[in-house]
């Protein structure tokens, strides 16, 4: 187990003793409160800047701010995921047992984010009486999968880090949602962004198949490394995501490109093909 990056210094931001429960829990809490702060800041800035945001319902505001928060988390996730997937020689050499101090840091901060994201989702479901089984399963398995990093100090980080790279679609999802809500759907920018989003979802599918292949081709080692209970949770979640959830979401966003549908609102907006206008109050005003 390589818990240290030998090139690091004692003052390195990643130079923590991750074997200690106190350190792991502090970084998890840090991730939680950092992204809670981002969520609240997104609400404050959006209320100040966007007239369209102020007209949204409470549920739609929560969705808006969740997308904003997830987009910032995607920056951290993609940086860590790409480094592990293509650059870091330790993870290139060993995809099962390898660890780095920088990977500990990012995994624990990410665990804090996923805890925050689950709480927001479940509180929103209760407050707004809305329940999306696909999203609930996705969020629960995401947090359950990364929980192994907190509880098992010998677990390898490659699969977790590559899994974080699945957040690559979040910035485009956020932009698509904001353009939709501010009345700029069916513009060139929205359509171009939707093409990027569709491409990102296909990349996610390739990436999730890669993760499945790593699990299957190193089956005994991965089970031994994670421990059977955590491996069951991780592999079950990854399989459901790869074979069901990701293709379903890819279908949804592709359909949205050809037939504009707002899946996050009860006021569904569709394009009126006879007039070329949008049949919803959401698109009657273009204001930011």
Mean pLDDT of the chain: 85
Q: With beta carbons less than 8 A apart as the criterion, state whether 74 and 170 touch.
A: yes
Q: What is the pLDDT of residue 265?
A: 53
For residue 133, pLDDT over 70 is answered with yes
Task: Say which range, 49-53, 121-125, 165-169, has the weakest mean pLDDT.
Answer: 121-125
- In angstroms, the CA 148 to CA 222 distance is 12
Q: What is the pLDDT of residue 263?
A: 54
Q: Which residue in this structure is represented by tokens 């988390």?
A: 73
Q: Which residue in this structure is represented by tokens 């800041």?
A: 41
Task: Say which range, 103-107, 132-136, 254-258, has the weakest mean pLDDT.
Answer: 132-136
Cα distance from N-terminal residue to C-terminal residue, the chain? 51
Task: Say which range, 6-10, 189-193, 263-267, 283-287, has the weakest mean pLDDT.
Answer: 283-287
Q: What is the pLDDT of residue 261?
A: 59
Closest CA to 92 of 158, 188, 41: 158
pLDDT-derived band at 277 (thresholds 50, 70, 90) equals very low
Q: What is the pLDDT of residue 233?
A: 84
- In angstroms, the CA 46 to CA 57 distance is 14
Please state, in angstroms and as integers, the Cα–Cα distance from residue 8 to each residue in 12, 56, 95, 109, following that order.
Answer: 6, 48, 22, 19
For residue 51, pLDDT over 70 is answered with yes
Q: What is the pLDDT of residue 260?
A: 67
- In angstroms, the CA 80 to CA 161 distance is 6
Comparing 11 with 247, which gets the higher pLDDT?
A: 247
- In angstroms, the CA 128 to CA 25 distance is 31
Percent of the chain beyond pLDDT 90? 63
- In angstroms, the CA 48 to CA 178 distance is 15
DSSP annotation string for the chain: -----TT--TT-TT---TTSHHHHHHHHHHHHHHHHHHHHHHHHHHHHH-HHHHTS-HHHHHHHHHHHHHHHHHHHHHHHHHIIIII-HHHHH-SSS---HHHHHHHHHHHHHHHHHHHHHHHHHHHHT---HHHHHHHHHHHHHHHHHHH-TT--SHHHHHHHGGGGGHHHHHHHHHHHHTT-TTSHHHHHHHHHHHHHHHHHHHHHHHHHHHHHHTHHHHHHHH-HHHHHHHHHHHHHIIIIIHHHHHHHHHHHHHS---TT-SS---EETTTTEE-SGGGT----
For residue 4, pLDDT over 70 is answered with no
Closest CA to 197 of 175, 165, 169: 169
Q: With beta carbons less than 8 A apart as the criterion, state whether 169 and 197 touch.
A: yes
- In angstroms, the CA 288 to CA 268 distance is 20
Q: What is the pLDDT of residue 283?
A: 37
For residue 281, pLDDT over 90 is answered with no
For residue 5, pLDDT over 50 is answered with no
Percent of the chain beyond pLDDT 70? 86
Q: What is the pLDDT of residue 204?
A: 95
């Amino acid at each position: 187990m390589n818990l240290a990056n030998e090139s690091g210094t004692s003052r390195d931001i990643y130079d923590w003793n991750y074997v200690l429960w106190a350190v792991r829990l502090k970084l998890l809490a840090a991730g939680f409160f950092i992204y809670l702060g981002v969520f609240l800041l997104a609400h404050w800035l959006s209320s100040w800047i966007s007239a369209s945001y102020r007209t949204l319902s409470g549920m739609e505001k929560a969705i808006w701010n969740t997308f904003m928060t997830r987009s910032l988390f995607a920056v951290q996730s993609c940086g860590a995921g790409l480094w592990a997937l293509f650059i870091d020689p330790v993870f290139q050499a060993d995809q099962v047992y390898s660890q780095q101090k920088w990977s500990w840091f990012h995994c624990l901060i990410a665990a804090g984010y996923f805890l925050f994201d689950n709480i927001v989702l479940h509180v929103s479901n209760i407050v707004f009486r809305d329940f999306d089984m696909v999203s609930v399963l996705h969020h629960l398995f995401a947090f359950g999968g990364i929980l192994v990093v907190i509880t098992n100090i010998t677990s390898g980080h490659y699969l977790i880090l590559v899994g974080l790279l699945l957040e690559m679609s979040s910035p485009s999802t956020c932009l698509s949602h904001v353009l939709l809500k501010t009345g700029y759907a069916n513009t060139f920018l929205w359509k171009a962004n939707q093409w990027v989003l569709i491409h990102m979802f296909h990349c996610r599918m390739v990436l999730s198949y890669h993760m499945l292949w790593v699990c299957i081709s190193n089956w005994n080692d991965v089970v031994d490394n994670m421990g059977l209970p955590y491996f069951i949770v991780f592999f079950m979640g990854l399989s459901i995501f790869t074979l069901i959830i990701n293709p379903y979401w890819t279908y949804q966003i592709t359909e949205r490109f050809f037939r504009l549908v707002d899946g996050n609102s009860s006021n569904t907006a569709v394009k009126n093909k006879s007039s070329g206008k949008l049949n919803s109050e959401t698109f009657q005003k273009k204001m930011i």
